[in-house]
Structure 1
Amino acid sequence: MYEASQGTGLYSLFPPLKFLSVIFALDLPMAMSYAPDRASGKIKLFFKAMGQMVPVKAVYGDTVLETAHKNGVNLEGACEGNLACSTCHVILEESLYKRLGEPSDKEYDLIDQAFGGTSTSRLGCQLKVDKNFENAVLTIPRATKNMAVDGFKPEPH
């Protein structure tokens, strides 16, 4: 039998959590540190990149691209959020995709050019963080395709 005096912190208050955390490799203190903080307009969401899940705090009103950059997540944004490339392409969970509004025609056109586009692909620069994103997982494709779509022709090196 587990004695409460043996544990520390949250586990001492709820001994079954200690047992469950060992079985399921739960990090309860970390999970609770990312609890929603609606009063400050912050929530947690996750970026999944190269098989790694990265929990981040996101601020309501920031774009997904801004959120990634503020949290050190490697999500490209070659056009700096001006809807002129597809390098901030993310893949959403189907449930989140359905809760969000439809992409614009321009965003659809760019998603068509994105590497590894799916039926739930969106551009991070066009998605504003709100309550729908709480605990959402946004997958970053393994590669991007950066093509100029506005007629810009780079000078030769």
Structure 2
Amino acid sequence: MIVSVIDREGKSHELPAKPGQVLMRVLRDADMGLKAECDGCCACATCHIYVDNDWYGKLDAPADEEQDMLDEAFDVQENSRLSCQITLTEETDGLKVVIAPDWD
């Protein structure tokens, strides 16, 4: 399966992934610029991404914990998610995301 990613410089990438992987780990392993400081514990929002509008509704809705962390993030949009909270499945093959701007 593939995840399509636009990095912070606007460059497009197609990253291989497997069902069951957490999106944050796929992005971090590919050096997409995510800090992911809490290592996926939903405690920092440094893995903030924007999910393509065509894909957003196909994902499970964000839990309250994720929504609370997004309230602390910068440049939040309606399609913002934390990549540590998205587990990839066969149904997410082709998922399109954009890496949110860095906080620094």
Tell me the TM-score normalised to structure 1 length: 0.61
Does the 8 Å CA contact 1:59/1:67 hold for their aligned counterparts?
no
Does the 8 Å CA contact 2:70/2:80 hold for their aligned counterparts?
yes
1:6-17 to 2 correspondences below 5 Å? none
Higher relative contact order (CA 8 A, sep 6+): 2
Q: Among residues 38, 59, 64, which one is paired with 1:79 in the alignment?
A: 38
Unaligned runs of 5+ in 2: none
Unaligned runs of 5+ in 1: 1-42, 146-157
Q: Secondary structure of the residue that 2:56 maps to in structure 1? A: helix
Does the 8 Å CA contact 1:96/1:132 hold for their aligned counterparts?
no
Q: Deviations over 1:28-84 (max 9, x none)?
A: xxxxxxxxxxxxxxx011111121111110111111111112223222201111111
What's the offset of the Cα at 1:122?
A: 0.6
Q: Which runs of 4+ in 1 moved over 6 A?
A: none
Q: How many angstroms apart in 1 are the aligned matches of 2:40 and 2:47?
A: 8
- Tell me how many residue pairs correspond in the alignment: 103
Q: Among residues 48, 51, 60, which one is paired with 2:6 in the alignment?
A: 48
> Which structure has more helix as a fraction of its residues?
1
Q: Secondary structure of the residue that 2:71 maps to in structure 1? A: helix
Q: How many angstroms apart in 1 are the aligned matches of 2:29 and 2:100?
A: 19
> What residue in structure 2 maps to residue 136 of structure 1?
95
Q: Among residues 1, 20, 29, which one is paired with 1:70 in the alignment?
A: 29
Q: How many angstroms apart in 2 are the aligned matches of 1:72 and 1:133?
A: 21
1:93-132 to 2 correspondences below 5 Å? 93-132=52-91
Tell me the TM-score normalised to structure 2 length: 0.90
What's the offset of the Cα at 1:142?
A: 2.0
What's the offset of the Cα at 1:96?
A: 1.1
